[in-house]
């Protein structure tokens, strides 16, 4: 079945068979927010916000799902919702499997001679929220997870104070990636070396595949390098932190919320206007529908 082509799925409710028709939406993919599909279902489906949010945690079923849902919801809205939910669970499982394959490739990657392994990445979370940092520091490789040291403590504190979600909840609900997945070593002037353009380019092939698999709605770009890579331009933190921008990233239209790097190497976020802009950015993270859906309690 082609990822981008129209497809159909026959389901049986008792003795009656229905055909769910899935077709590409405007973005050319078959996955769109199911919460919209549920709300648009009509026919008395009447999905509640909680139901829509719970389903939206998973994979979408495309713009045509609304039409298919309307067809079947007239006769059995509960079964229609269950069927869509089942499809979503299956799609999530497929995404996890594909992310695991990608992670195995990543683990073996030795394309950059100056980089110091091991490769660091988060777990294969099928999330619509993608967090992109710069690169792991010297401790993350040993600990086997991104943002595992002091910068991570600050980042997770920011997120917990704003959203109420603990570090483990955020790690379970948000996909963690980075501009480069290996430790670049120390810079002569002190601090961690910034990945060079060739390294960024090589590692971007993994990000591109992750975007295709996850189809994120929200990208959290952490630090100036990640912000520059996601937005495609160099901007001062004062200009970019504090709001939500729209960007085309690896072929997908996404909302982008920029955050300063929490390493403490820069005091930008500790002084005004950085302090207030960071608070605004974190409020935008909390309010974003993709983040709210990602952090919604499971049903
Ligand atoms: S930085 Fe990325 S491309 Fe370079 S070796 Fe590490 S995983 Fe491979």
**pLDDT exceeding 70 applies to what percent of the chain?**
69
Please report which confidence band the pLDDT of residue 28 belongs to, taking 50, 70 and 90 as the band edges.
very low
Residue range 1-17: average pLDDT? 41
pLDDT at residue 77, as a whole number: 58
Show the tokens assigned to 217: 């709605």
Helix, coil or strand: residue 70: helix
pLDDT at residue 227, as a whole number: 98
* CATH match for 113-295 among 3.30.70.260, 3.40.640.10, 3.40.470.10, 3.30.420.10: 3.40.470.10
**pLDDT exceeding 90 applies to what percent of the chain?**
62
pLDDT at residue 185, as a whole number: 96
Chain segment 30-54, per-residue pLDDT in tens: 333 343 444 343 333 334 433 333 3
**The residue to which tokens 């067809």 are assigned:** 71
Q: From CA 84, how far away is CA 199, in angstroms rounded?
A: 41
pLDDT at residue 87, as a whole number: 65
Pocket test for ligand 1, best of 115, 137, 140 (most atoms within 8 A of CB): 115
Pocket test for ligand 1, best of 104, 111, 121, 210 (most atoms within 8 A of CB): 111
CB-based contact 212:227 (threshold 8 Å): no
pLDDT at residue 286, as a whole number: 97
For residue 135, pLDDT over 90 is answered with: yes
Helix, coil or strand: residue 241: strand
Q: What is the pTM of this model?
A: 0.76
Residue range 17-32: average pLDDT? 39
The sign of the torsion formed by the CA atoms of 103, 105, 108, 111 equals negative
Mean pLDDT of the chain: 79
pLDDT at residue 20, as a whole number: 45
* Cβ < 6 A, ligand 1 pocket: 106, 109-112, 115, 119, 180-182, 199, 202-203
CA distances from 270 to 141, 158, 261, 273 (A): 28, 12, 12, 9
Closest CA to 116 of 189, 201, 180: 180
CATH 3.40.470.10 residue window(s) in the chain = 113-295
Lowest mean pLDDT among 58-67, 68-77, 120-129, 132-141: 58-67
Beta strands 252-259 and 175-178, pairing class:
unpaired
Pocket test for ligand 1, best of 114, 181, 204 (most atoms within 8 A of CB): 181
Residue 109 Cα: closest atom of ligand 1: 8
Closest CA to 135 of 147, 123, 125, 124: 147
Q: Which helix (H) or strand (E) holds 259?
A: strand 252-259
pLDDT at residue 148, as a whole number: 96
Residue range 208-221: average pLDDT? 96
pLDDT at residue 265, as a whole number: 80
- Let me know how long the chain is: 299
User: Environment class of residue 33 by beta-carbon count within 10 Å: exposed (0-12), middle (13-18) or buried (19+)?
Assistant: buried
- How many other CB atoms are found less than 10 A from the CB of residue 249? 20
pLDDT at residue 145, as a whole number: 96
Show the tokens assigned to 112: 């950059």
Chain segment 88-117, per-residue pLDDT in tens: 666 777 888 899 999 999 999 999 999 999
CB-based contact 34:72 (threshold 8 Å): no
- Which residues have a Cβ under 8 Å from the Cβ of 261 and sit 6 or more positions away? 133, 134, 151, 222, 223, 224
Q: From CA 197, how far away is CA 180, in angstroms rounded?
A: 10
């Amino acid at each position: 079945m082609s990822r981008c082509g129209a497809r159909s799925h026959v389901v049986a409710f008792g003795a009656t068979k229905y055909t769910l028709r899935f077709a590409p939406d405007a973005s050319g993919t078959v996955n769109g927010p199911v919460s919209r599909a549920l709300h648009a279902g009509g026919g008395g489906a009447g999905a509640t916000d909680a139901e829509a949010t719970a389903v939206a945690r998973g994979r979408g079923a495309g713009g045509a799902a609304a039409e298919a849902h309307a067809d079947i919801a007239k006769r059995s809205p509960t079964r229609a919702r269950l069927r869509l939910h089942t499809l979503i669970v299956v799609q999530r499982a497929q995404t996890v499997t594909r992310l695991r394959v990608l992670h195995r490739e990543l683990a073996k990657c030795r394309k950059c001679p100056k980089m110091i392994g091991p490769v660091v990445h988060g777990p294969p979370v099928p999330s619509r929220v993608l967090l992109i940092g710069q690169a792991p520091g010297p401790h993350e490789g040993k600990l086997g997870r991104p943002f595992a040291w002091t910068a991570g403590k600050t980042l997770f504190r920011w997120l917990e104070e704003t959203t109420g979600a603990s570090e483990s909840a955020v790690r379970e609900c948000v996909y963690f990636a980075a501009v480069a997945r290996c430790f670049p070593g120390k810079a002569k002037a002190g601090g961690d070396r910034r990945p060079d353009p060739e390294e960024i380019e090589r590692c971007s092939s993994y990000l591109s595949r992750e975007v295709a698999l996850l189809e994120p709605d929200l990208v959290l770009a952490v630090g100036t390098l990640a912000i520059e890579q996601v937005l495609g331009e160099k901007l001062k933190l004062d200009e970019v932190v504090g709001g939500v921008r729209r960007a085309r990233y690896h072929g997908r239209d996404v909302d982008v919320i920029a955050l300063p790097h929490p390493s403490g190497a820069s005091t930008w976020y500790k002084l005004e206007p950085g302090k207030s802009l960071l608070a605004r950015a974190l409020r935008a993270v909390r309010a974003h529908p993709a983040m709210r859906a990602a952090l919604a309690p499971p049903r």
